[in-house]
């Protein structure tokens, strides 16, 4: 029997309409099976579609399941901010005035409420360190570059399986035209610095063929893990801004901040652009 639920689509990481990364949010995923959730995620064909559920952990305000067109993720960044905005707008009342707590497969994620923005605390990385030679060679070949152009590389996996290559400049990152057929299961990004004095410190691109997403317009989870890497090594200041989505005609703006205690926060706008109901 058809079931009708409240549904919103949230534009994340941009205050300019339809310039960030959209996430579809079903505000009540109760009694939906994983198969039904996956089918809807394939149909929306967005980077992610999420389903809000009652929490199972007493410290959490709600629970979230996150799906790409290709499968379920334990954690993702822009869906975390977009779903938090949707939950608050739907009348959700957090246990704490200044932040809320999301439960997901990766654990508990704190989301702070700021002036016009939301910020999530970067979850722990489940894998870090330099890439193995074989994986690095495959990515370099897919990117169509030489090994010498890679300034640094790292596993930055906080659940989805991310790896990242650092190139010298943002211009080099924007020039990439990768052949993803060479890395069909990869979850990989490329980051490069903008000239000193620019509005943004870095340009980031993320490619997720392993999740059925050729290029993500703005990726909170990768920014979180890359931020942990770069700020811990001194390769980036404690606060910096990232531009993403340029090659896709988007204008995402992401701020990364490392607290003195080492906690990394990823911040950005989250604005509801579509509101209605969906029949499941």
Residue 21 pLDDT > 80, yes or no?
A: yes
Q: What is the per-residue pLDDT across 48-68, written as a single tens digit (0 to 9) for each?
A: 999 999 999 999 999 999 999
Residue 71 pLDDT > 80, yes or no?
A: yes
Structural domain spans, the chain: 4-123+268-279, 127-264
**Catalytic pick from 35, 36, 48, 103?**
48
Question: How much is the average pLDDT of 142-170?
Answer: 97
| DSSP label at residue 249 | T
- The number of residues in the chain equals 280
pTM: 0.95
DSSP 135-198: HHHHHHHHHT--GGGEEEEEEEESSS--EEEEEEEHHHHHH----GGGSTT--EEEEEEPPTTS
Active site residue 48: yes
Question: How much is the average pLDDT of 179-206?
Answer: 98
Question: Exposed/middle/buried for 156, CB within 10 Å: 0-12, 13-18, 19+?
Answer: buried
The CATH superfamily holding the domain 4-123+268-279 is: Diaminopimelate Epimerase; Chain A, domain 1 (3.10.310.10)
- Collapsing DSSP states into helix, strand and coil, what is residue 268? strand
Shared fold status for 4-123+268-279 and 127-264:
yes
Fold of 127-264: Diaminopimelate Epimerase; Chain A, domain 1 (3.10.310)
């Amino acid at each position: 029997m058809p079931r009708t639920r409240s549904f919103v689509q949230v534009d994340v990481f941009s205050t300019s309409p339809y310039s960030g990364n959209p996430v579809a949010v079903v505000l009540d995923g109760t009694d939906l099976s994983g198969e039904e959730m996956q089918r809807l995620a394939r149909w929306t064909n967005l980077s992610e579609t999420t389903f809000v559920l009652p929490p199972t952990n007493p410290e959490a305000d709600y629970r979230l399941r996150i799906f790409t067109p290709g499968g379920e993720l334990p954690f993702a960044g822009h869906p975390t901010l977009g779903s938090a905005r949707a939950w608050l707008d739907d009348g959700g009342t957090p246990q704490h005035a200044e932040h809320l707590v999301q439960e997901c497969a990766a654990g508990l994620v704190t989301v702070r409420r700021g002036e016009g923005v939301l910020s999530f605390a970067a979850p722990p990385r489940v894998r870090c360190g330099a890439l193995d030679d074989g994986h690095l060679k495959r990515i370099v070949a897919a990117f169509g570059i030489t090994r010498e152009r890679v300034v640094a590389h790292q596993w930055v996996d906080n659940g989805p399986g991310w790896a990242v290559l650092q190139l010298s400049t943002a211009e080099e990152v924007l020039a990439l035209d990768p052949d993803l057929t060479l890395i069909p299961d990869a979850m990989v990004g490329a980051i490069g610095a903008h000239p000193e004095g620019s509005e943004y410190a870095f340009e980031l691109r993320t490619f997720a063929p392993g999740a059925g997403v050729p290029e993500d317009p703005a990726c909170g989870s990768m920014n979180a893990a890359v931020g942990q890497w770069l700020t811990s090594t001194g390769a980036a200041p404690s606060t910096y801004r990232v531009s993403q989505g340029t090659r896709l005609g988007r204008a995402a703006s992401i701020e990364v901040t490392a607290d003195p205690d080492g906690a990394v926060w990823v911040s950005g706008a989250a604005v509801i652009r579509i509101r209605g109901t969906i029949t499941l």
